Amino acid sequence: MITPKHRMRTAGALAVVFAALAAASCATLVDEGRARVCRTVVPVIEADGARIAILRSSAGATADSVRVDYRLTVDGRSAFRHVICHFGGARGLPQDALSGVDTPDGPLAEAKLIFLQRFYLELPGEPPPDPGLADSSAPFLLPPSVALALQQLVSALPSAAIYGLLASSYALIQGLVGRVVFGFGDLAAVGGYATLTGLALGSASGSLTALGFAFVLALGVSSAYGIATGRFVVLPALRAKGQAVVIATVGLMLALAEYSRLTMPRSMIWAPPLLSTPMALARAENFAVTVTPMQLLSAAIGLAGALCLLAYQRWSAFGRAWRAVSQDEIAAAMLGIDRDRVFTKSFAIAAALAGLAGYVLTVHYGQTGYAFGFTLGLKALVGAVLGGIGSVGAAFAGGIILAFGEAAWSALFSVDSRDLAVYSLLAILFIFRPYGVFGQRPDSPSLS
């Protein structure tokens, strides 16, 4: 029984959640590339031997400016200071070029600014050290080989989320109809374009609202495309005999790619780096193993998407109807289950997962394109077959394995041959293990 005391506790918890969301919506997004440049300026303007601890990087009071707050320790005495860096502006410089530095002692002279750019920031070779990555922030000292392996695994987190979500899309439809339906990679590209649009529309607020708006827009647009294509293209093809569904979905994939090419901007549009401040996990002798909040967010989005789908399949009325149609569609129809509706809803969910993969791709890498759809879709299909395309959980696990396998290949062998190895794996799996590592031979249900 729900008592008034329980209601008050629930209301209090909701108030805390909404307050946290409101605070997050007011947090200003900072271009991490500019923030990194501004942090590297700090050691130059301070005395040699001073200890610098970066506290925060935030947007400046004016447009195209970044403020870095830090604690300065000299001879045992500490002081809190800040520096404001200006970029672009009226000098005709590129948008991300440093155009001015305001220190606690006043603006940096133009001559000093020119020397700072040409003989420190723009020197060839390794970039200047970032004081935001202090030695004390990496408590674990690892052997170089172990540190390199850990960094490769961390770097593969966004790819694992993308491949896992797309592989789940393939598995949701293949498990229902017993056939591979193509086109989800191109739906991911559509979701990526929707994400760019959402970031642009939400950027006026200058807050994390842009990420939330892009998230909703990516899911909504990709689901709408999924409902339309599933209802009017894929479903009629499934009722035809032969290889009509393969031909129809390959045509759908090409049509979506061409549609994106004709309707999207010709020039490359890049989103600013978001939530990409590196955090040190461990350190080797000559480099630090780092992870960014965006990498962790990407992994969390992928895992949450898969878990939500698995829970929805297991405990909802839709999940029961999905299992009934996948096992015996004729018996399901006799019991009053609308198989067309089940398929349309399944395709909408699969398209939403593909749009979520496009969201992760765009917010992490900053760009998407119609040409990405084919490659993403085919690689995700490899992951789905690797894990077991008849099961959503197995396919998601296969996508994760594929992402980490790509990272391992990149570390051990030539990157140029990585895609060749992935596509060769697809052919090998179809020949020797078509139902994957974790999958079982299905009963091949069909809507035809």
What's the pLDDT tens digit per position in 29-50?
Answer: 667 778 888 888 888 888 887 8
pLDDT for the residue numbered 15: 38
**One domain, residues 195 and 127:** no
**One domain, residues 66 and 111:** yes
**One domain, residues 313 and 414:** yes
Rounded to the nearest 5 percent, the helix, strand and coil shares of the chain are 60, 10, 25
Q: Which residue type, as a one-letter code, is found at position 209?
A: T
| Token pair recorded at residue 231 | 């209802």
Mean pLDDT over 1-17 rounds to 42
Distance CA 48, CA 54 (A): 16
**One domain, residues 163 and 298:** yes
Quick one: pLDDT band at residue 165, thresholds 50, 70, 90?
Answer: very high
Q: Which is more confidently placed, 266 or 83?
A: 83
**One domain, residues 54 and 172:** no
Per the structure, the count of domains in the chain is 2
pTM: 0.74
**Residue 377: pLDDT above 80?**
yes
Q: Which residues lie closer than 8 Å to 392 by C-beta, 6 or more apart?
A: 168, 171, 172, 175, 306, 309, 310, 313
Q: Please name the helix (run of DSSP H) or strand (run of DSSP E) that holds residue 308, with its range, or none.
A: helix 293-315
pLDDT for the residue numbered 356: 92
**Residue 132: pLDDT above 80?**
no
Asked whether the CA dihedral 374, 380, 381, 383 is positive or negative, the reply is positive
Distance CA 395, CA 55 (A): 42
Across 26-30, 240-244, 251-255, 407-411, least confident range: 26-30
Distance CA 129, CA 138 (A): 15
| Mean pLDDT taken over the chain | 78
pLDDT 10s digits, 65-119: 888 888 888 888 888 888 988 887 655 667 778 888 888 888 888 888 888 888 7
**One domain, residues 397 and 295:** yes
Quick one: pLDDT band at residue 352, thresholds 50, 70, 90?
Answer: very high
**One domain, residues 126 and 172:** no
**Residue 205: pLDDT above 60?**
no
Mean pLDDT over 375-394 rounds to 85
pLDDT for the residue numbered 422: 83
Q: Which residue type, as a one-letter code, is found at position 89?
A: G
Q: Which is more confidently placed, 373 or 95?
A: 373
**One domain, residues 75 and 183:** no
Q: Which residues lie closer than 8 Å to 366 by C-beta, 6 or more apart?
A: 270, 271, 272, 273
**Residue 192: pLDDT above 80?**
yes
User: CA dihedral defined by 234, 235, 239, 243, rounded to 10 degrees?
Assistant: 10
Q: CATH number, domain at 193?
A: 1.10.3470
- Domain around 233: 152-275+291-432
- The fraction of the chain above a pLDDT of 90, given in percent, is 4
